[in-house]
Amino acid sequence: MSEDIILDIRNVTKRFPGVTALDNVSIQIRRGEIHGLCGENGAGKSTLMKILSGVYPHGEYDGTIIYDGKELKLGVGSIRQARDEGIAIVYQELTLVPNMTVGENVFLGKEPLENGAINWSKLYADTRDILAKYRLDVSPQAVVKYLGVGKMQMVEIAKALSEDAKILILDEPTSALTESEIDKLMTILENLRSHGVTCIYITHKLEEFFRITDSVTVLRDGKMVTTQPTSQLTLEKLVNYMVGREMKERFPRGNRHPGEVIFEVNDLHAVDPNETSHKVLNGVSFNLRRGEILGIAGLMGSGRTELVTTIFGEYGKITSGSIRLEGQELNIHNARDAMRYGISLVPEDRKGQGLVLIQSILKNISLANLDQFSGFMRIDADAELVAATQQARSLAVKAPNLQVRVDSLSGGNQQKVVIAKWLLSDPKILIMDDPTRGIDVGAKYEIYKLMNELAERGVSIIMISSELEEVLGMSDRIMVMHEGRSTRTLNIAEATQERIMALATGIADELTPI
């Protein structure tokens, strides 16, 4: 074979009780390429990564893996060994210690020693060299918790590269990044490619495959569907390979007819409650109609999440401005108040803020609305079960029963549970902060359909999204934020990616006609 194959996965099968996670999968990855790995949640991507990283050691799966010319045999508890072999993973969830510096994180577990003590100058010098080599724009001495998500991602990459990684696996590296940070990441990846590092790139954002990868492998239900050079693929083809069926449209258009304005935010200013000198909102105004989907776009740090959590009473301290619902001025101090007025918030971080992972679907759905089922003392368990079952069914949550713990569900199903929870209070206004983050195409489509149905029923939805296509695909109007201010609300007819980006980056202010 003329091609230089660094990783040859041959007929790998991995079974769990009741499920075949990988079914006779064969993939060849060429040295120095960026190889995209694509598939819905549950397609087997994570299982494959866990095999490569040693979470599932050699012998726990069938098939062979030839790595760099010889068979890869990772022993039990061999995550360390995989690293030593040069296989490094950057996980979707960041794995840095927030209170440590960049250098300490990069060399965590392999600190350079001198007479048994850590050689700090070498540690920081080496960190600086790695950062410089791959043009990562972070200071070695910076404390990680003060960095933005984008920079943290760079530190993760630096950490992986400090092990002389031959293969770098990136598992959804852009799910928390803004457009500009993604651009930076792409530059970094190109730079890595020029240094001969092989990358396996996993993402749910299909466009990224076309921006950066050389070839793409699609997995579906544990089986390898195809591997093709990216140049021969199109977005439509990719989606079809993934879902195994024709998907006509990524964003279903509902039959929405937004009614009168019911919710108004007027010149809202707010400060960080823990640090009142820090302004988080600097004049936000917008309105929302009955049965409308209003998209909120903006870069990370533009105050989108701060805006909705402030409205919900759980973040910023309002210094001036007003919030009105159906003409009545609202005075919201916490989530309870907001819910009483009929406002629900599907929070940004599904696992960290939306769910109690160790509890059942039932308890998660009912948690915010136990008052509905409670008498003086006791909870009416039957009423609770009936209501939760109804919600779960109408959202098509896939689970054997409602006693199943939510941490055993896929991301898409977890998100449905969060939405079910917040629909139980029958809200007038549903705020969704990045509702499709990190979930697969099929589940996204179902959530879009659900949003349409809700809007048609007269629920008003505010949707924050980091994906411009999603904002453009789903919204009736789009409000763009920049540095804590609302710049302009665009009608969907006049909105384009370019206009939104211009407003979001402050290139065009609201006075300039665009």
Binding site for other proteins (CB under 8 A): 312, 314, 334-336, 338-339, 345, 347, 349, 352-359, 362-363, 367-368, 370-371, 374, 377-379, 381-382, 385-386, 389, 400-403, 421
**Are the C-beta atoms of residues 465 and 202 closer than 8 Å to each other?**
no
d(CA 29, CA 36): 10
**Are the C-beta atoms of residues 31 and 192 closer than 8 Å to each other?**
no
Q: How open is the CA angle 338-342-347, to the nearest 5 degrees?
A: 60
90 or 388: CB nearest other proteins: 388
183 or 371: CB nearest other proteins: 371
Question: 471: Cβ–Cβ under 8 A, 6 or more apart, which residues?
Answer: 295, 296, 297, 463, 465, 478, 500
**Are the C-beta atoms of residues 417 and 364 closer than 8 Å to each other?**
yes
At its nearest, how many Å lie between other proteins and the CB of residue 331?
16
**What is the CB neighbour count within 10 angstroms for residue 133?**
13
At its nearest, how many Å lie between other proteins and the CB of residue 57?
14
Element (H, E) at 20: strand 19-30
230: Cα separation from own chain's centroid? 24
10 or 351: CB nearest other proteins: 351
CA distance to 14, 304, 463, 501, per residue, from 488 (Å): 52, 14, 16, 12
- For 55-102, give the secondary structure using H, E and C: CCCCCCCEEEEEECCEECCCCCCCHHHHHHHCEEEECCCCCCCCCCEH
At its nearest, how many Å lie between other proteins and the CB of residue 502?
33
Which amino acid is residue 154, in one-letter code?
M
d(CA 324, CA 336): 17
**What is the CB neighbour count within 10 angstroms for residue 18?**
5
Radius of gyration of the chain (CA): 24
At its nearest, how many Å lie between other proteins and the CB of residue 185?
28
CA proximity to 39, closest of 167, 168, 172: 172
Which amino acid is residue 42, in one-letter code?
G
147 or 362: CB nearest other proteins: 362
CA proximity to 438, closest of 414, 420, 418, 408: 414
Which amino acid is residue 70, in one-letter code?
K
d(CA 52, CA 429): 45
At its nearest, how many Å lie between other proteins and the CB of residue 213?
36
CA proximity to 226, closest of 236, 211, 237, 241: 241
